[in-house]
Each structure stands twice: as structure tokens, then as C-alpha cells.
Amino acid sequence: MKNLAGMMKQAQQMQTRMAEMQAKLDQTEVEGKSGGGLVTVLVTGKGDLKKIKIDKSLADPEEVEVLEDLILAAFNDAKTKVESQMQAEMAQLTGGLKLPPGMKLPF
């Protein structure tokens, strides 16, 4: 029974740390760029888009498709950075705990 009590305590500690990590992600902001910095986006740790900055040289009605592609690329850059940061936080949180393939935290 000691083992079960220890596991429950660890689960509660992990749940607390998970809540702290989620709160930290809410406050985290990551910048993504594309086109050599001509398009910049600001994304929260939860993946919410907060800001887009577009260089004035891209404001050409004939080049709308290029601008659209650059915005998507900047957003995807930021999203990749957020996911990488989240994976690092999760690895630190779980202490290298190996989860079965396909299983992700939080559940």
C-alpha cells in the first residue's frame, strides 16, 4: 500500500506542476518570422495569434499571394517554436518519464 500512496502523491505533484506549466504557457509569447523578417507574428504559448507586423514593402496588391504565404510561414514558425518549448517543459516536468507511443500529456 505504501507504493500506491507514493504513486498518488506523485500524481498530485505532477498535476500541480502541470497546472503551473499551463499558466506559464498562457503568459508565454513567441515571435515567428518569415521573408527575412518582413512578416512577424506574435503567438501565445497556447497558439493564439496576438499580433501581426507586415513590412510596408509587401503592401502590393499584385503580390497578395506572396503576403499570404509569408503570414502563414511566420505563424508556422511561431507555432513550431511554441511546440518545441512545450515539449521541453513537458520533458522537464515528467523528468524523462517515457510515455507509450501516441500518449500525450495533458491527457
Entry field: residues in the chain:
107
Decide if 47 is inside a domain: yes
Average pLDDT of the chain to the nearest whole number: 84
What is the tens place of the pLDDT at every residue in 23-54? 887 788 999 999 999 999 999 988 889 999 99
Q: Which residues of 62-85 are buried (b: 16+ CB within 10 A; e: fewer)?
A: eeeeebeebbebbbebbbebbeee
**65 within domain boundaries:** yes
Domain that holds residue 75: 29-82
Residue 24 lies in a domain: no
Identify the residue whose cell numbers are 503567438.
43
Please report whether residue 15 resides in a domain: no
In a domain, 11, yes or no: no
Residue 42 lies in a domain: yes
Provide the CATH number for the domain around residue 39: 3.30.1310.10
**Number of domain units in the chain:** 1
Q: Is 7 inside any structural domain?
A: no
pLDDT on residue 101? 61
Cell numbers 501581426 correspond to 52
Q: Taking a C-beta distance cutoff of 8 angstroms, is the pair 17, 25 a contact?
A: no
Examine residue 69 and state whether it is found in any structural domain, yes or no. yes
Distance CA 12, CA 15 (A): 5
pTM of the shown model: 0.69
